[in-house]
Structure 1
Amino acid sequence: MNLQNLLIAPPQSFRVDISIVVPLFNESESLPELVAQIYQAVQKSSFAEFFGKTPSFEILFINDGSTDGSEVVIKKLLETHLEIKLISFRKNYGKSAGLDVGFKTASGRYVITMDADLQDNPYEIEALIRKLAEGYDLVSGWKKKRYDPLSKTLPSKLFNFVTGLVSGVHIHDFNCGLKAYRNEVVSSLDIYGEMHRYIPVLAKWNGFRISELAVEHRARKYGRTKFGLSRFIYGFLDLLTVVFISKYMKRPMHFFGSLGILSFISGLSINAYLTFEKIVNDMSVSNRPILFLGMLLMILGVLFFTTGLLGEMITKSFSRSEPYLIKETVNLDLPNT
């Protein structure tokens, strides 16, 4: 079997230097101005000096079921801007779905993600890629000075703090849509739900080097925000999913078995104490609530342990070769059979 069927290796060739992925939902007013700024940012002379030429690029608009004519605006822009590409969903699936499709489509050596509402500054693209050139695989923008109301900034600070505490990845702004990646990073990601908030976490756990860079955040010029407080609730639930899948997907017994042992030993200790009280002090234990707590903990311990065993059996039955991420191969001839 060809080793490439078992291992995920970085792509060897790219059609363009930079892919700019822009998921959007109802942002028709900002799109012409955004496209003009992206062209100016990518084609400026200092950026051309960095690449040794004017960098080739593509703009991937992922239209997430917009109902305000955004698709029509993009198709009009397509007539005069050959670098623009459009993917339109039949309905609104969310930002994670848009990024996932954009990542799978991007053909650039470097991949930039940004929002379509003009709050992300396209002129930051050069600084982000220069930061990647220092040896990083992902650079996350940090909106150090924000122009959002307190109803957004305070929950965001709490979210960033908890995410850093749980994941062990300490950056200031997980929610910033402006990020730069090497293509091998986005090729390794599978984004769904609200997972786009945890891309730095997933990349870090995959062994990639991450950093952050303070970027300009601009006040919203058109329309209104598409996100409410519910995104943080769903986001925290997805954080638990990320932690569980990343740490215990291949070894569910480590999670459920640990809970089972802890619960069973706690219940056994309680019942042992009650037994001692009955034998030594001849105390009645049948009507004591703590007896039922001990029994409940022992039953839960057995259930957790059994769940862990079932999880191990399912994992072994449907297991596939581990998709190891290969940085490079040297002097290695791969068999084709």
Structure 2
Amino acid sequence: MNQEIVSTEGQSKERNKNTRYVKKPNQDNQQRRDTPFISVVVPLLNEEESLPELALQLENELKRASHNRYEVIFVDDGSTDDSYSVIRSINQRNRRFRAIRFRRNYGKSAALSAGFNASQGMIIVTMDADLQDDPAEIPNLIKKIKEGYDLVSGWKKKRRDPITKTIPSKFFNFITSITSGIRLHDFNCGLKAYKRAVVKNLQVYGEMHRYLPALAHWQGFKVTEIPVTHHARRYGKTKFGFTRFIKGFLDLLTVLFTTRYFKRPLHFFGTIGTIIGLTGFGIDLWLTIEWFMKKTALSNRPLALLGVALIIVGVQLVSMGLLGEMITKNSLEKSNYQISERL
């Protein structure tokens, strides 16, 4: 009798051991249904008039494109109008529309970074909130992603903007295309689609949102572009200004440096410093030999001072490279924005 009880208990424990880690198929299917397939990140600043129509268009398009597996993340970049109140009402009607609200205006790059961090979808789409980007283009972007590309950028082939905005943009795209090594017509188009791996590997700050295709390309991701529909602005006013053009140019220089030398600043500063230092050393060596052979006084030779100055500058640049190496290895990542509210 006791042996039978022990045997029964042993069999029960063995069954529990074998079934302990078995997942229930229904739970897995439900989890897949609840996880968004598409995340749409929409940075915005004072767009209260366009938001209701944009939300309606997005809802209609995303239902078809994702079989109702989607989320929309509005990132309010410190709006001073009623944009967030409008977003709150949209959220109450459809919980798939979420929101992040900044304490103040941090810029589009910070808004995109916050949206990327909050997104859950396998494909992340970005677009502007001013109704100039057409949500009907989202299926075309996703189709291109499924062809094997990691980032698909929109190309506003027929752009509906004033000449004060289009001419600087064309110049900017031309310069960026040459320096980055990737041939695109429209780096700064707000309408883009990314695989999740791309947004998790990109650091977006300053005006870096303009160069996301270049940054992704330099990290080895496959990047392409497709023509997209572009509408004229119907509400509000553009946030584009001349100061953004200057900041964008400075950030282009930053992109070139950080992508090629961020993890090895000594290679950049050290190379320049070594060349300058060796030039100065060569000048002084030649003057020293001349003095030794011809007994020519160095006190009245300004070239000798130039050689000394070049050596000093070269040593300083090499030191800057070493310091940069130390800072890079000990740097800590910090958020460049503060969130006041979420939906």
Give the TM-score, by structure 1 length.
0.82
Partner residue, 2:223: 210
Map residues 37-76 of structure 1 onto 2, 5 A cutoff. Answer: 37-44=57-64, 47=65, 54-76=67-89
Identity of aligned residues (%): 54
Q: 1:295 to 1:93 in 2, by over 3 A?
A: same
Q: 1:239 to 1:279 in 2, by over 3 A?
A: same
Partner residue, 1:170: 183
Q: Displacement, 1:288?
A: 4.6
Asked if 1:148 corresponds to 2:168, the answer is no
Q: Displacement, 1:231?
A: 1.3
Q: 2:43 aligns with which of 23, 26, 41?
A: 23
Q: 1:190 aligns with which of 203, 212, 225?
A: 203
CA contact (8 A) 1:138 1:180 kept: yes
Q: 1:110 to 1:298 in 2, by over 3 A?
A: same
Which string of whole-angstrom CA distances, capped at 9 and with x for unpartnered residues, describes residues 167-224 of structure 1?
Answer: 2222111111100011121122221111111211221222211111111111111111
Q: What SS is found at the alignment partner of 1:43?
A: helix
Partner residue, 2:52: 32
Map residues 187-266 of structure 1 onto 2, 5 A cutoff. Answer: 187-266=200-279
Which string of whole-angstrom CA distances, capped at 9 and with x for unpartnered residues, describes residues 17-59 of structure 1?
Answer: 1111000000111111111111222234xx4xxx6xx242111
In structure 2, stretches of 5+ residues that fail to align are 1-30, 333-343
Q: Displacement, 1:116?
A: 0.3
Partner residue, 2:132: 119
CA contact (8 A) 1:114 1:120 kept: yes
Give the TM-score, by structure 2 length.
0.81
Partner residue, 1:8: none
Separation in 1, partners of 2:290, 2:156 = 62
- The structure with higher relative contact order (CA 8 Å, sep 6+) is 1
Separation in 2, partners of 1:278, 1:114 = 69
Separation in 2, partners of 1:315, 1:196 = 22
RMSD between aligned residues: 2.3
Number of residues paired by the alignment?
301
Separation in 2, partners of 1:315, 1:41 = 44
Amino acid at match of 1:247: R
Separation in 2, partners of 1:115, 1:38 = 12
Find the structure with the greater CA-based Rg.
2
Separation in 1, partners of 2:331, 2:169 = 37
Amino acid at match of 2:59: Y
Amino acid at match of 1:181: Y
Q: 1:274 to 1:158 in 2, by over 3 A?
A: farther
Which string of whole-angstrom CA distances, capped at 9 and with x for unpartnered residues, describes residues 112-158 of structure 1?
Answer: 10000011111100100001111001101111111212221121122
Partner residue, 2:14: none
Separation in 2, partners of 1:139, 1:268 = 51
Separation in 2, partners of 1:314, 1:189 = 20
CA contact (8 A) 2:45 2:79 kept: yes
Q: What SS is found at the alignment partner of 1:177?
A: coil
In structure 1, stretches of 5+ residues that fail to align are 1-11, 321-337
Separation in 2, partners of 1:178, 1:315 = 33
CA contact (8 A) 1:18 1:55 kept: no
CA contact (8 A) 1:112 1:180 kept: yes
Separation in 2, partners of 1:144, 1:127 = 15
